[in-house]
Copies of this chain bind each other. A is one copy, B any other.
Amino acid sequence: MRTLVDGQDVDLELEPIVERIAIDLPPPSMDDVRADDERLLHALERARPGACERVAVDAARALSPLLRDGDGELDAFVRRGELIAAGPPGRAALGLAVDLGTTNISARLASLESGETLASAGVENPQTRYGGDLISYAAHVRHAEDGAEELQALAVEALGALVAELCVHAGASAEQILDAVVVGNTMMQHLLLGLPVEPLATAPFVPALRSASELKARDLGLDLAPAARVYLPPNIAAFVGGDHVSMLLATGCARDARLTLAMDIGTNTEISLLDGDSITSVSCPSGPAFEGAHIECGMRAAVGAIERVRLVGNDVRVETIEDAPAAGICGSGVLDTVAQLYLAGVVDERGRIREGHPRVRSRGKRREFVLVHASDAAGSELVFTQEDVRAVQLAKAAIRSATDLLLEATGHVEGELEQVIVAGAFGNYIDVTSAQAIGLLPPLPFRRFAQVGNAAGDGARLALLSQRQRDAAETIADRCRYVELAGHPSFQSTYLGRIGFAPLR
């Protein structure tokens, strides 16, 4: 069966997690004093022999009134031989797919049977109040008593609020949500599961759990159907998590014969090389520059953020999100700015901002480029500083040297790459030419690049809708070999070699 996943025609063999079985069950009487579960199982056996052999205790708690009121016509929902819910005929069976990102959480409500998405919603991850990156979260856990519980509670609260919002949009009730999938990086998944996160952030950087997890939604404090479960895909390593696996799943690259590089660029960047059956993964800390953070005039990709920059003569042309007055520079704008300054010779091969351009000015030792004059900006003028260029250099050097070492470790060279998948919010919006100009991405023909947006979220939805997709995610993780770059002998030299910009051809 083929189905539409967010407008894309995806070959998804729906093998729904729950099966709907219509039954007709007269209420108990003095002539039929069999227990609720006994009568239910008997009716299910008649309707679909062999489909169900037990009733979940959590479901049984809620069934009693249902089996006594009404005319006895019911739809039962069975999951792996266990009745997990029942309701009046025709009620939709819903599922929740969540991408639990370090800074943003997005969630979708879907029909478990048709696969249709009924509502989507997103929210800033409230955990960001403790820093917004993995190292800050780990520090909070280390220093604050109950820090881990606090972070877990924040995530759970945010998920609860999203569920409520999605249910309002879809005209549904949280009790109809029978299954959920949450994908996140290893730390997000560990925090949600209440697993220790300090070992993730301390050498030798080891996760508590690599395997996929499945537990009761209630065990996580999530108020869905009483017997609902939450599935989290496997992690590959401390810094290559279930969201990366989910991305590999959604893009289908793990089933693709082409030699593929698949990368998630963010504060931490995860890169996998897929070569036939073997998958090799690396990760590197790449700083928040490409998320517009720790940049003088940086901002998140919101209304008014500069996302495109072109230098035309001495003029600077910028495009902002929703064409609003420029309020700051988001990741793709940061990338464009550095690329344009370099291509125009304003920044040299070593990354120094040169004097001479009318928009370059020096304030003491600090040199900066005026991107938007105060008169054209939403607030004060927007500048790009020497420090900002350095931050981008460090980020791109980390990502590109990780790519180099990954290729080296697998015996390949850049030119052989047949496909480069760039995932994530940043990856979806960047100008590949700019990324190539500064050396973030390898200089390959443009057609070999695929920018896939929030593929991790798409993967969560696939896993929600099909047991086969969960199995596939686990197979992907099993095939992954993780290479630790922190201990790699040539990491330092490769990294230093990638700090500068390549000579212009």
Chain A residues with CB under 8 Å of chain B are: 28-38, 54-55, 57, 60-61, 63-65, 68, 193-196, 198-199, 203-211, 213, 215-216, 218-219, 235, 237-238, 482, 484, 486-487
Contacts and interface: CB of A to CB of B under 8 A. Distances in A.
Contacts of A61: 193-196, 208
Contacts of A37: 208-211
A155 to B, nearest CB: 16
Nearest to A207: B35
Contacts of A31: 487
28 contacts: A28-B204, A28-B206, A30-B204, A30-B484, A30-B486, A31-B487, A33-B204, A33-B205, A33-B237, A33-B238, A33-B482, A33-B484, A34-B210, A35-B209, A35-B235, A36-B199, A36-B206, A36-B208, A37-B209, A37-B211, A38-B211, A55-B209, A55-B211, A57-B193, A60-B195, A61-B193, A63-B208, A64-B208
Given A68-B199, A199-B64, A211-B55, A206 B34 contact: yes
A63 B211 CA distance: 15
A346 to B, nearest CB: 41
Nearest to A57: B213
A212 to B, nearest CB: 9
A223 to B, nearest CB: 15
A68 to B, nearest CB: 7
Nearest to A198: B64
| Listed residue (A35, A193, A216) with the most chain B CB atoms within 10 angstroms of its CB | A35
A239 to B, nearest CB: 10
Given A61-B196, A64-B196, A206 B54 contact: no
Contacts of A199: 28, 36, 64, 68
Copy number in the complex reads: 2
Contacts of A65: 196
Nearest to A486: B30
A35 B208 CA distance: 5
Nearest to A236: B35
A285 to B, nearest CB: 15
Given A60-B195, A194-B61, A195-B60, A30 B203 contact: yes
A35 B60 CA distance: 37
A252 B393 CA distance: 78
A209 B60 contact: yes
Given A34-B206, A35-B206, A64-B199, A215 B57 contact: yes
A27 to B, nearest CB: 9
Nearest to A218: B219
Nearest to A193: B57
Contacts of A194: 61
Sorted nearest first, the 8 A-B pairs with minimum C-beta distance are A35-B210, A64-B196, A35-B207, A28-B206, A30-B487, A30-B204, A38-B210, A36-B208
A31 B216 CA distance: 35
Among A203, A209, A219, A484, find the residue whose CB has the most chain B CB atoms closer than 10 A.
Answer: A209
Contacts of A68: 199
A30 B194 CA distance: 24
Nearest to A202: B68
A29 B204 contact: yes
A284 to B, nearest CB: 14
Contacts of A29: 204
Nearest to A199: B64
Nearest to A482: B33
Nearest to A484: B33
Contacts of A204: 28-30, 32-33
Contacts of A33: 204-206, 237-238, 482, 484
Given A28-B199, A57-B193, A64-B196, 6 more contacts: A28-B206, A35-B208, A36-B208, A36-B209, A55-B209, A57-B215
